[in-house]
Amino acid sequence: MERESRLIVFAAAMTLLSCLNPLTGRVHAGVYDDVVAWWHFDYDPNANGLADLDEIRDQRNWGTTSTKGVGGKHATSLTGLLGGPSWENAPSLRPAGGQEYGGRSMLFRPAVNTENNTAWPDTFQANGLGLAGSATLITRLRWDGKNTPLENVVWLYNNHLEWNAYRGWLFGISTNAAGGRLAFYTQRTTSTMDATLTNGVWYDVGMVVTDYGTNKVGTVEFYLWHETGSLVYQKFNNIGITNSINPSPRTIVGSENHSNGYAAGNNHKSFNGAVNHLAVWNRALSFAEVNEAFGNPQPLFQIGIKNNSPFDMRPESETDAEYIPGDPWHTMRRAVTATYREATLKIPLTNHQARLDYMFHVRTQTENNAPADIELIVNTFTNEARTAKLSNDLYWHVTTNMLFTGTNTFTLRYLSGTSPYIGFDWMELAGAWQVGLEDNSPSEFVLESSVSADYFVTNPNWKHVRRAISSGTTNAHVNFALSEELARRCFFTYTTRIVSQGGAETNQHAFSVDLNGTPVRSFQPVPNGTYIRIPLEQDLVQAGMNTIKIRYDDSPAIGGYLQFDFHRLEVSDIPKGTIFWLR
Ligand SMILES: [Ca+2]
Ligand SMILES: [Ca+2]
Ligand SMILES: [Ca+2]
Ligand SMILES: [Ca+2]
């Protein structure tokens, strides 16, 4: 941590004493909590490189080795020349940051017979899954181009489209001379994004369908995040969205047709490429939620869905104790017991990550709500034991003195208790991040006018951070997500340092900082080298995405700029006061 050498001002000691104000209007701790199907495509126990029926599982209710979880939207049938899609074992890129889903992807390679112009698609079908009304699809995909003689439009996702019944829809890629473009189809209308995909490149992709009801104009939104780290967004009005669905629905992934053999017609509309993970919701996600889903988890680590169930992970008897972020979720222990006492996370930290404090938070499950004690060991530090119960949230403040640069070990250990097990609903190591290096230079960022104002802290590419605010480019927005639990319970402090200012008439410029649209502080001009450290009012911190907006406040007639060294969020158990100082 930096040390203040010359204190300029100490102001506004926090008077907030109520640290548990319930937030209003927020339901979701994490955007994936209400996902209705989420395939991670990461399981090939027979290691034959083929996606067998048992291997395509909905992570929400994964189950055990022998039995798929009840209620999960698992694959119910397959098609393909090889029996179904294949697995690709190379890791995907992670365009928006976030997490690798198991280092494996589903590979769709429709077979084509050029002699009689027929195709045999690679697909899986999930019976019992259909999306009515508003819906969202989030995926990470690589399109490998049109596979001749496939048609100019190929479908990745068939939400039980029924011709002439005007039910369901298709999502996929439409091609023209410029390349592939994201496309949405109902029998009434099609919406096609203008931006084109490059063959063989990974994208984080989102589509949000909003159905306002019969005879109302609906909307389709496309999100396309290229592997170099920039988001393209486009929204369409679509008069055709009155999305009713068959009462016994099914979903096809990989093509429009779930036809197991060569055929013409809709068999030609088959997706050719790889999909790392695919999630769908039965509601329209907001812009902030889509970005939260892309970058999940927020720094540093998260596993499990908040659903009062440990079955999104795997029985402790079927897993070893260690879990590395990015490994398949089915390799993570869902519980610790007197027999299988430990679950150990091996979390890599960079130099600047290791210099921050974090909160470790786990929601537990126990038998009949009986208590049992658990402790958290961080590297060589054994923290105080906590008592787990059913749907209990346990917290440990992990301080920087426990951490180092490299792979850090976090072990949850069952101690003793009435409950013979402590299950995990979900857990996170989170609450703090740093964007940029504290090195008195803005050179890791880019010219402010060359990128969007919005930067998401999960984006690994700092060349998408505005290095300055100026009279011409007045805003920089730093976006980050928090779980509902941390947003309610903890205190957060934002810090930046102004490293260089300039422009006409004056060398120093006024600026201000907003949190989630509410002004927090306004600053008269300060010298270069000034640290700006602002405690974020807890009432303004929210579950889900938060936005810190830094705004240039000098007269537009004064063509000036202020440059940033870094942006940082710190977390603590107690409120802190505003401070700014020079070094
Ligand atoms: Ca297999
Ligand atoms: Ca995967
Ligand atoms: Ca869970
Ligand atoms: Ca810097």
pLDDT > 70? residue 291? yes
Minimum-distance ligand to the CA of 84? 1
What spacing in Å lies between the alpha carbon of 481 and ligand 4's midpoint? 23
Confidence of residue 417 (pLDDT cuts 50, 70, 90): very high
Range with the lowest mean pLDDT among 229-243, 398-412, 469-483? 229-243
In this prediction, residue 91 carries a pLDDT of: 84
145 and 40 share a domain? yes
Average pLDDT of the chain, as a whole number: 91
135 and 254 share a domain? yes
In this prediction, residue 181 carries a pLDDT of: 97
pLDDT digits (tens, 9 = 90+) for 181-195: 999 999 888 999 999
213 and 269 share a domain? yes
Of 386, 408, 430, which marks where a domain is finished? 430
419 and 520 share a domain? no
320 and 269 share a domain? no
In this prediction, residue 249 carries a pLDDT of: 98
Minimum-distance ligand to the CA of 275? 2
What spacing in Å lies between the alpha carbon of 542 and ligand 3's midpoint? 22
pLDDT > 50? residue 525? yes
Q: Has residue 262 been placed in a domain?
A: yes
Segments forming the whole domain that contains residue 111:
31-44+73-295
Pairing between β-strand 202-210 and β-strand 118-120 as defined by DSSP bridges: unpaired
For residue 66, CA distances in Å to 55, 231, 328 come to: 11, 41, 17
| Mean pLDDT across 517-541 | 95
84 and 137 share a domain? yes
Domain CATH for 413: 2.60.120.260
Q: What is the DSSP annotation of 455-471?
A: EETT-S-GGGSBSEEES
164 and 223 share a domain? yes
Q: Counting beta carbons within 10 angstroms of the beta carbon of residue 158, is it exposed (0 to 12), middle (13 to 18) or buried (19 or more)?
A: buried
pLDDT > 60? residue 1? no
Q: Which residues contact 216 (CB under 8 A, 6 or more apart)?
A: none
pLDDT > 90? residue 439? yes
What spacing in Å lies between the alpha carbon of 258 and ligand 1's midpoint? 20
In this prediction, residue 237 carries a pLDDT of: 93
Q: Name the token pair of 47.
A: 């290691």
In this prediction, residue 555 carries a pLDDT of: 86
458 and 375 share a domain? no
Minimum-distance ligand to the CA of 313? 3
pLDDT > 60? residue 331? yes
Task: Cis check for the bond before 110: say yes or no (omega within 30 of 0).
Answer: no
290 and 153 share a domain? yes
What spacing in Å lies between the alpha carbon of 88 and ligand 2's midpoint? 9
The total number of structural domains in the chain stands at 3
Minimum-distance ligand to the CA of 44? 1
Q: Has residue 54 been placed in a domain?
A: no
Q: Provide φ and ψ at 463, rounded to 5°.
A: -75, 10
Minimum-distance ligand to the CA of 86? 1
Q: Has residue 55 been placed in a domain?
A: no
CB 509 within 8 A of CB 503: yes
- DSSP secondary structure code for residue 555 in this structure: -
89 and 192 share a domain? yes
Q: Has residue 62 been placed in a domain?
A: no
Q: Provide φ and ψ at 59, rounded to 5°.
A: -65, -20
Of 401, 430, 459, which marks where a domain is finished? 430
In this prediction, residue 240 carries a pLDDT of: 74
| Ion ligand 4 nearby residues (CB, 5 A) | 436-437, 439, 441, 565-566
Minimum-distance ligand to the CA of 496? 4
pLDDT digits (tens, 9 = 90+) for 71-83: 999 999 999 999 9
What spacing in Å lies between the alpha carbon of 103 and ligand 2's midpoint? 6
Q: Has residue 191 been placed in a domain?
A: yes
CB 73 within 8 A of CB 58: yes
Q: Has residue 406 been placed in a domain?
A: yes
395 and 530 share a domain? no
pLDDT > 90? residue 556? no
Domain CATH for 205: 2.60.120.200
CA distance 580 to 495: 9
pLDDT digits (tens, 9 = 90+) for 96-152: 998 899 999 999 999 999 899 999 999 999 999 999 999 999 999 999 998 766 678
For residue 396, CA distances in Å to 109, 300, 303, 360, 488 come to: 47, 15, 17, 5, 15
What spacing in Å lies between the alpha carbon of 441 and ligand 4's midpoint? 4
| Mean pLDDT across 275-295 | 96
Q: Has residue 64 been placed in a domain?
A: no
Of 430, 464, 481, which marks where a domain is finished? 430
Minimum-distance ligand to the CA of 314? 3
Range with the lowest mean pLDDT among 63-67, 210-214, 386-390, 396-400? 210-214
In this prediction, residue 10 carries a pLDDT of: 29
Please, what's the b/e burial string for 489-506 (b: 16 or more CB within 10 A of its CB; e: otherwise)?
bbbbbbbbbbbbbbbeee
396 and 517 share a domain? no
153-157 long-range contacts (CB < 8 A, ≥24 apart) are 153/183, 153/185, 153/269, 154/255, 154/269, 154/270, 154/271, 154/272, 155/185, 155/255, 155/256, 155/269, 155/270, 155/271, 156/108, 156/253, 156/254, 156/271, 156/275, 157/251, 157/252, 157/253, 157/278, 157/280
In this prediction, residue 360 carries a pLDDT of: 98
Confidence of residue 299 (pLDDT cuts 50, 70, 90): confident
pLDDT > 80? residue 68? yes
pLDDT digits (tens, 9 = 90+) for 16-52: 222 232 333 334 458 999 999 999 999 999 999 999 9
What spacing in Å lies between the alpha carbon of 112 and ligand 1's midpoint? 23
Minimum-distance ligand to the CA of 437? 4
Query: Is the backbone of residue 304 left (phi > 0), alpha (psi -120 to 50) or beta?
Result: left
CB 328 within 8 A of CB 40: yes
In this prediction, residue 148 carries a pLDDT of: 67
Minimum-distance ligand to the CA of 334? 3
In this prediction, residue 582 carries a pLDDT of: 60
In this prediction, residue 579 carries a pLDDT of: 59
Q: Has residue 570 been placed in a domain?
A: yes
For residue 65, CA distances in Å to 84, 318, 519 come to: 21, 8, 53
CB 225 within 8 A of CB 204: yes
Position 449, amino acid = S
pTM reported for the whole predicted model? 0.92
In this prediction, residue 558 carries a pLDDT of: 84
